[in-house]
């Protein structure tokens, strides 16, 4: 059987690897960005000089030959679903498939701003964007970044690492306030300012001004301020990269519609990763989740389905991680910026505003629903187990020491959390379990 995968990102490559583990199908991966799979999340580190591009490749080049996975650097310009053929930009031949997986990822949003296609205006998504940014960084006097999400803050850090002044336009009144709870969002606002970024909250891009030669020379904000700059980074979110299959029989909305087996409306055609839109997502989950981990899970699931072992896509407990300059961020489970009535949380923040722990629970049942961690890491497996097994807040706080990594190397804050708990629930005071660290962690997994 001939399996063709469009896209060599985390979802397409995970699918290829697992199909190989499960079968001897003929596998071809077509992608136009790079010859080899690389970690998109590490793009910023290439710019900052921490890594070379080659270091961002999780597999050696010979891995693909050894595993009989054919890689083709080309662009698919059209899919003939009726005859099961792909039309490629460079190859004169068409590519036939028996089963097709579309894993084409995302593209940065543009909202029709005047000047959005000028020279010196770009999003950060593909390796080519990074090369473009590199080229425009020479003698750059100021960059303006539009859009306060995860990629925007990475781009700000990248320019700041080269002492290029940055103005950061964030439409919301506080950084990433549609995702982060109020306190964590405020912490990151402060942190951005500490890094000498000119953060402009509640400010939108109105237009990008042409220097008369087709290049950006300034932006105008909705507050009437003109900010001179040589580069404008557009980081106001992403959308599924599916332009080339619009106006075909494939059912799409924002993304390619798939069921829980990741099948599209066309037989033998599947979609995974950022470009897929689940018809029926699990409660509390979004139909499109443009993150690395979901791409990986979808890649593995689709491989089973293609190899004849029917497996439903089940993303489990929500997890995400990122970094805001020097502050690492981890979220497990249901932590909402605007929590519903039954959500309550215990929140601790250190006096330097660089670390915080939030444990969200259901105030009717006291069951723990989620963890939001800034500058601190807890063991993923344990947080997940507590959420899955509906552990109560007191149970979690008493055993919190077990969620820490090696106590010799990391400061611990269970006592602070226990004190907050005891103040909040004076009639149910708890004391911490003495066992901490790895042994405590193991003991919780014994039964
Ligand atoms: C700067 C940055 C930082 C990020 N950081 C994080 C993070 O910290 N944590 C996290 O969870 N997620 C992060 N993400 C998001 C994460 O990288 C994406 O969710 C993930 O890469 C999506 O994987 P994918 O396989 O669906 O698609 P992609 O990685 O986008 O791969 C799709 C590939 O298909 C190719 N392609 C598209 N159309 C065609 C065509 N017609 N023909 C041929 N090839 C085509 C594309 O060029 C691309 O190479 C980050 C993204 C960026 C840009």
Ligand 1 pocket check for 43: Cβ under 6 Å: yes
Q: Which CA distances in Å does 312 have to 198, 262, 282, 375?
A: 46, 8, 11, 35
Specify the ligand 1 atom closest to the Cα of 244: 41
* Helix (DSSP H) and strand (DSSP E) numbers for the chain: 11, 25
- Is 171 within the bounds of a domain? yes
Phi, psi of 169 (to 5 degrees): -90, 120
Ligand 1 pocket test, candidate residues 40, 290, 297, most atoms within 8 A of CB? 40
- Is 113 within the bounds of a domain? no
- Is 349 within the bounds of a domain? yes
Specify the ligand 1 atom closest to the Cα of 298: 26
Return the percentage of the chain with pLDDT > 90, whole number. 89
Ligand 1 pocket check for 378: Cβ under 6 Å: no
- Is 17 within the bounds of a domain? yes
The confidence score (pLDDT) of residue 428 equals 84
- Is 71 within the bounds of a domain? yes
Confidence of residue 376 (pLDDT cuts 50, 70, 90): very high
Whether residue 103 sits in one domain with residue 6: yes
The confidence score (pLDDT) of residue 3 equals 98
Return the percentage of the chain with pLDDT > 70, whole number. 95
Q: In a 3-state reduction of DSSP, which class is residue 120?
A: coil
Ligand 1 pocket test, candidate residues 80, 104, 235, most atoms within 8 A of CB? 104
Q: Is the pLDDT of residue 433 over 80?
A: no
Q: Is the pLDDT of residue 74 over 80?
A: yes
The confidence score (pLDDT) of residue 58 equals 96
Ligand 1 pocket check for 45: Cβ under 6 Å: no
Q: Answer with the one of 218, 236, 254 that is the final residue of a domain.
A: 236
Q: Is the pLDDT of residue 446 over 70?
A: no
Q: Is the pLDDT of residue 258 over 80?
A: yes
State in Å: Cα 407 to ligand 1 middle: 36
The confidence score (pLDDT) of residue 438 equals 66
10 Å CB burial of residue 319 (0-12, 13-18, 19+) is middle
Whether residue 246 sits in one domain with residue 142: no
Ligand 1 pocket check for 11: Cβ under 6 Å: yes
Whether residue 125 sits in one domain with residue 97: no
Whether residue 330 sits in one domain with residue 258: no
- Is 116 within the bounds of a domain? no
CB of 272 within 8 A of CB of 287?
no
Q: Is the pLDDT of residue 30 over 90?
A: yes
Q: Convert the pLDDT of each residue in 389-422 to its tens digit.
A: 999 999 999 999 889 876 666 677 888 999 999 9
Q: What is the mean pLDDT of residues 41-63?
A: 96
Q: Is the pLDDT of residue 437 over 80?
A: no
Q: What is the mean pLDDT of residues 160-169?
A: 98
Max Cα-Cα span within the chain: 76
Whether residue 213 sits in one domain with residue 71: no
State in Å: Cα 168 to ligand 1 middle: 23
The confidence score (pLDDT) of residue 404 equals 85
CB of 86 within 8 A of CB of 94?
yes
Whether residue 70 sits in one domain with residue 101: yes
158: CB partners within 8 A, 6+ apart: 44, 47, 48, 133
State in Å: Cα 89 to ligand 1 middle: 20
- Is 43 within the bounds of a domain? yes
The confidence score (pLDDT) of residue 91 equals 66
CATH of the domain at 421: 3.30.390.30
Q: What is the mean pLDDT of residues 320-337?
A: 96
Q: Answer with the one of 236, 260, 275 that is the final residue of a domain.
A: 236
State in Å: Cα 106 to ligand 1 middle: 6
CB of 186 within 8 A of CB of 150?
no
Q: What is the mean pLDDT of residues 223-251?
A: 96
State in Å: Cα 354 to ligand 1 middle: 30
Confidence of residue 431 (pLDDT cuts 50, 70, 90): confident
Whether residue 260 sits in one domain with residue 369: no
10-22 and 292-306 helices, crossing angle to 10°: 30
Ligand 1 pocket check for 40: Cβ under 6 Å: yes
Confidence of residue 232 (pLDDT cuts 50, 70, 90): very high
Ligand 1 pocket test, candidate residues 41, 75, 245, most atoms within 8 A of CB? 41
182-194 and 150-161 helices, crossing angle to 10°: 20
Q: What is the mean pLDDT of residues 52-78?
A: 96
Specify the ligand 1 atom closest to the Cα of 320: 11
- Apex 433 CA angle, 430 and 438, nearest 5: 145
Residue of 294, 323, 403, 326 lying closest to 357 (CA atoms): 403
**Cβ neighbours around 273 below 10 Å, total:** 35
CA distance 100 to 306: 9
Residue nearest to atom 47 of ligand 1 (CA): 33
CATH of the domain at 152: 3.50.50.60
Lowest mean pLDDT among 69-73, 143-147, 281-285: 281-285
Ligand 1 pocket check for 31: Cβ under 6 Å: yes
The confidence score (pLDDT) of residue 427 equals 86
State in Å: Cα 395 to ligand 1 middle: 39
Ligand 1 pocket check for 124: Cβ under 6 Å: yes
Ligand 1 pocket test, candidate residues 4, 6, 7, most atoms within 8 A of CB? 7
Whether residue 187 sits in one domain with residue 139: yes
Q: Is the pLDDT of residue 440 over 90?
A: no
* Tokens linked to 185: 């969002």
Which domain range does residue 67 map to? 2-107+239-306
Output b/e per residue, 189-219; b: 16+ Cβ within 10 A: bebbeebebebbbebbbbebbeeeeebbbbb
Ligand 1 pocket check for 133: Cβ under 6 Å: no
CA distance 282 to 52: 39
The confidence score (pLDDT) of residue 93 equals 75
Q: Is the pLDDT of residue 308 over 70?
A: yes
The confidence score (pLDDT) of residue 216 equals 98
Whether residue 335 sits in one domain with residue 440: yes
State in Å: Cα 442 to ligand 1 middle: 36
First to last CA, the chain: 44
Confidence of residue 447 (pLDDT cuts 50, 70, 90): low
Whether residue 432 sits in one domain with residue 397: yes
State in Å: Cα 197 to ligand 1 middle: 27
Confidence of residue 300 (pLDDT cuts 50, 70, 90): very high
Whether residue 230 sits in one domain with residue 248: no
State in Å: Cα 192 to ligand 1 middle: 26
State in Å: Cα 103 to ligand 1 middle: 9
Whether residue 222 sits in one domain with residue 131: yes
Residue of 35, 45, 43, 44 lying closest to 13 (CA atoms): 35
Q: How many structural domains is the chain composed of?
A: 3
Ligand 1 pocket check for 167: Cβ under 6 Å: no
Q: Which carries the bigger pLDDT value, residue 181 or residue 402?
A: 181
Residue nearest to atom 8 of ligand 1 (CA): 322
Which string of DSSP letters, residue by residue, matches 144-184? EEE--SHHHHHHHHHHHHTT--EEEEESSSSTTTTTS-HHH
Q: Answer with the one of 184, 218, 236 that is the final residue of a domain.
A: 236
**Cβ neighbours around 370 below 10 Å, total:** 22
- Is 367 within the bounds of a domain? yes
């Amino acid at each position: 059987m001939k399996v063709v995968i469009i896209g060599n990102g985390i979802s397409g490559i995970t699918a290829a690897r697992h199909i190989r583990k499960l079968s001897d199908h003929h596998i071809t991966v077509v992608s136009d960005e790079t010859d080899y799979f690389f970690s998109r999340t590490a793009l910023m580190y290439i710019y900052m000089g921490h890594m070379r591009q080659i270091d961002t490749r999780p597999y050696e080049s010979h891995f693909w030959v050894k595993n009989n996975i054919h890689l083709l650097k080309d662009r698919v310009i059209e899919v003939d679903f009726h005859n099961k053929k792909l039309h490629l930009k460079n190859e004169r031949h068409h590519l036939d498939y028996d089963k097709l997986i579309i894993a084409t990822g995302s593209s940065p949003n543009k909202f029709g701003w005047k000047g959005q296609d000028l020279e010196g205006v770009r999003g950060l998504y593909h390796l080519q964007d990074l090369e473009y940014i590199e080229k425009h960084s020479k003698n750059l006097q100021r960059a303006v970044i539009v859009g306060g999400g995860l990629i925007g803050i990475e781009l700000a850090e990248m320019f700041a690492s080269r002492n290029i002044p940055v103005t950061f336009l964030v439409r919301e009144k506080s950084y990433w306030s549609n995702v982060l709870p109020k306190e964590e969002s405020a912490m990151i606002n402060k942190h951005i300012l500490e890094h000498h970024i000119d953060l402009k909250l509640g400010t939108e891009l109105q237009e990008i001004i042409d220097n008369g030669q087709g290049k950006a020379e300034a932006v105008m904000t909705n507050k009437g301020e003109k900010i001179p700059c040589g580069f404008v980074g557009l980081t106001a979110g992403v959308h599924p990269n599916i332009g080339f299959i619009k106006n075909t029989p494939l059912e799409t909305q924002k993304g390619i519609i798939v069921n829980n087996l990741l099948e599209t409306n066309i037989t033998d055609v599947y979609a995974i990763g950022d470009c897929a839109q689940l018809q029926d997502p699990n409660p509390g989950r979004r139909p499109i989740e443009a993150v690395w981990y979901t791409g990986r899970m979808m890649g593995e699931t689709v491989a089973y389905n293609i190899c004849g072992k029917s497996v439903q896509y089940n993303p489990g407990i929500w997890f995400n991680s990122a970094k805001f300059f020097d502050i690492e961020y981890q979220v497990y489970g249901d932590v909402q910026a605007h929590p519903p009535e039954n959500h309550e949380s215990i929140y601790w923040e250190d006096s330097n505003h660089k670390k915080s722990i939030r444990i969200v629970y259901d105030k009717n049942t006291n069951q723990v629903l989620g963890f939001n961690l800034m500058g601190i890491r807890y063991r993923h497996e344990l947080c997940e187990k507590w959420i899955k097994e509906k552990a109560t807040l007191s149970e979690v706080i008493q055993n919190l020491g077990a969620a820490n990594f090696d106590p010799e190397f990391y400061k611990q804050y269970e006592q602070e959390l226990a004190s907050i708990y005891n103040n909040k629930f004076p009639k149910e005071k708890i004391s911490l379990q003495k066992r901490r660290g790895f042994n405590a962690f193991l003991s919780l997994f014994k039964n």
